[in-house]
Amino acid sequence: MDDPVPVAMIEQANETPLPDVHEPAVTERHEQLRELASQSWNLELLISGAALYATLSLPELLDNALGYYRYNLMLNNDYFHDILPIQVIGLSKGACYVLFVAFLANFIMRAFWVGLVGLLAVYPDGIKYNQIYRLGQYAQNEYARRMGRLSDYAIRLDQRCNVIFALAFMLTITLLGVAFFYVILVISVTLIQWLLPSAAYATFERIAGPVFTVLFVVYMVAILVMSLPRYRDDPKIAAIAFRLNQASSFMFFGLYRPAVYILFTFYSQIPKAILQRRLLTFMLCFTGVLIVSMFVEITQYSGAMSAFDGRSFVTLRDPGRTADANSFDNLRPASELIQKASIQSDVIREPYIRLFIAYPKTLDADISKRFTEPTWSDTLTKEEKRKERANWYLQTFATYFQIELNDSLYRQPDYLFTQRPDNDQLGLTTVLPVDNLPVGKNVLKLTVPDSASKPKMYYQIPFWYVPEK
């Protein structure tokens, strides 16, 4: 999509009187800035090195934050609560990787620049093309014409290091702007869900997507129309066009003004023809990072194989025939949250199965629709009410979750509330005896009621049973 920010930025700049750059105070500040820039390369190398490590550490923290949200805060599995947060994390991780590439490129180029500066300190005259042996007169002239002086090349390299930083931060700000906008959508829809009754929210959920899409298209068309010279230069419409463009600035929060400084500098210094090509390249890069980051993140959390994987006869979409490491305590990392359910091992040798069923926040809505907590007698003490309520909760779970081992149904298994010591995850634990279980592959199935109170598949765990002899 076209970014409406540039027009807004240009309009804003036109309203501000240009300062007199020849004022003594301004000139003095410019000289101080040049002196500071000439002395900051060593600090720049240090910052780049530290930032390389920091940007590689952030994606893991973002994954942990998303895992916490999906298990403890996500209210249901609709687009706004499920897919949009994944896209927010994808965009944020994309911004981290963009910064990592920029810091790495700057670190390498700046280190090379330091070498050139040191070389110029030893050989102030730089390259003397007419004294290079084994080069003919023509080659000497061509190299001199194409390469120029070593000092000029060092200056150009220094400028490119600075431009790489500016472009990378502009791309990062744009990605984070879209991510912030998605966060606002998620928070807004969550507040609406809390305020509206269930039936009203179901209606809102059906119409919200199409209505939002129409409003967004209308806004973008209005931005494009108002950006035409005949409207933006019209005294009667210019103010409206400017405010319409400014409406998108809330996406960037405190990053809007830095983006304006970077963008206006490029707009005012680069010729129009070159600027248009570079803007096109920038938008292609932005779109590419946007699509790839969201695609990778959604693929990761949907459990689907990558579209770039060339294995034609492997699928991860059949849970009854897929060994998911997350389903087994002996294969899953201790700190990783269990997605739905887990047993102790992929190969069961004991005469029992220890089953843990995760209890994410999304179960609250469905369980609350099907079960109504009884009214407890006022004659009961707080301790007695607490025990009665806990017993009713466990009976509710025993009714809601049906456990099948191959074709055998476990009726009313005894659950216990559990908080796992490895990752503090809340859920339910039960132990299932496996008498007469056939040796070899077996499947444990969890079913829950659907909208018609019929059993529907919730989760499957295939495993091997090889008893000890």
Give the confidence band of 308 by pLDDT, cuts at 50, 70, 90: low
When pLDDT is averaged across residues 20-24 and rounded to a whole number, the result is 48
Give the confidence band of 90 by pLDDT, cuts at 50, 70, 90: confident
In a domain, 132, yes or no: yes
Looking at the structure, do residues 323 and 296 belong to the same domain, yes or no? no
Q: Which residues contact 398 (CB under 8 A, 6 or more apart)?
A: 412, 413, 414, 415
Determine the pLDDT at residue 27.
63
Determine the pLDDT at residue 189.
85
Looking at the structure, do residues 113 and 163 belong to the same domain, yes or no? yes
Determine the pLDDT at residue 348.
94
Phi, psi dihedrals of residue 304, rounded to the nearest 5°? -80, 155
Q: How many separate domains does the chain show?
A: 2
Looking at the structure, do residues 276 and 369 belong to the same domain, yes or no? no
Beta bridge partners of 343: 328
Looking at the structure, do residues 426 and 292 belong to the same domain, yes or no? no
Residue recorded with tokens 């400017």:
242
Report the predicted TM-score, pTM, of the whole model to 2 decimal places.
Answer: 0.70
In a domain, 235, yes or no: no
Determine the pLDDT at residue 16.
44
Domain ranges, residue 94: 40-195+270-302
Determine the pLDDT at residue 22.
46
Looking at the structure, do residues 67 and 152 belong to the same domain, yes or no? yes
342 in Cβ contact with 326 (< 8 Å): yes
Determine the pLDDT at residue 3.
44
Give the confidence band of 38 by pLDDT, cuts at 50, 70, 90: low
In a domain, 231, yes or no: no
**Contacts from 183-186 at CB under 8 Å and sequence distance 24+?**
183/88, 185/80, 185/84, 186/80, 186/81, 186/84, 186/85, 186/88
C-alpha–C-alpha distance, residues 388 and 396, integer Å: 12
99 in Cβ contact with 175 (< 8 Å): no
Tens digit of each residue's pLDDT (9 = 90 or more) over 406-429? 888 887 788 999 999 888 899 999
Tens digit of each residue's pLDDT (9 = 90 or more) over 220-266? 788 778 777 777 777 777 777 777 777 777 767 677 777 888 888 88
Looking at the structure, do residues 157 and 86 belong to the same domain, yes or no? yes
Determine the pLDDT at residue 12.
43
175 in Cβ contact with 289 (< 8 Å): yes
Looking at the structure, do residues 378 and 428 belong to the same domain, yes or no? yes
In a domain, 368, yes or no: yes
Closest CA to 174 of 266, 98, 273: 98
Determine the pLDDT at residue 415.
93
pLDDT at 317 over 80: no
Determine the pLDDT at residue 19.
46
Determine the pLDDT at residue 357.
95
Determine the pLDDT at residue 9.
40
